[in-house]
Amino acid sequence: MELYDRDTVFIVGHGKTNKENAITEQFKIFFIGFVVDTKTDEIIDISCTSTIPTTRKFVSSLFIGKKFDRYNKDLEQEITRRYFGSSQKAIVIAYKDALKKYSEVKEKYY
C-alpha cells in the first residue's frame, strides 16, 4: 500500500531541546520528518518527536500546506507566536535543518 506519491521525499531535520524537556529525556533530540511533494515543494505531511499527541497535531498544523522551497520568515514568526512549549526553538532549528537538506536533495536529484 503506497501512502505517498512517487514525487514525494522524506526529509528529517533535528534540533536540540533544553535538558528539562521530556523529549530530551526520552529521545535525546527533537526531530521533524517532512513529506514534501518535489513538484510543488508543498509539505504534505509531517511527524515529530513528541511526548504528547496534541503536540504532533499542532506542529503538523503549522507546517502542512506550506511551501518548502525556501526559508519562510513568516512561518518562523508563526511558530514563535503560537507554540509555547519548551521545544519552540528546536522546532525552528529542525525546520531550518530540514530545509537545507531538502535544497541539497532538489539540487542533486531533481
pLDDT digits (tens, 9 = 90+) for 54-108: 988 999 999 999 999 999 999 999 999 999 988 888 899 999 999 999 999 999 9
In 30-102, beta strands by DSSP E: 30-37, 42-48
- The residues near 80 (Cβ < 8 Å, ≥ 6 apart) are 88, 92
Tell me what pLDDT residue 38 has: 97
Amino acid at 93: I
pLDDT digits (tens, 9 = 90+) for 4-47: 999 999 999 988 765 565 444 554 678 999 999 999 999 999 99
| Statement: 8-104 belongs to CATH 3.30.310 | no
Question: Strand pairing partners for 45?
Answer: 35
Closest by CA position to 101, among listed 49, 34, 24 = 34
pLDDT cut 70: percent of the chain above it: 87
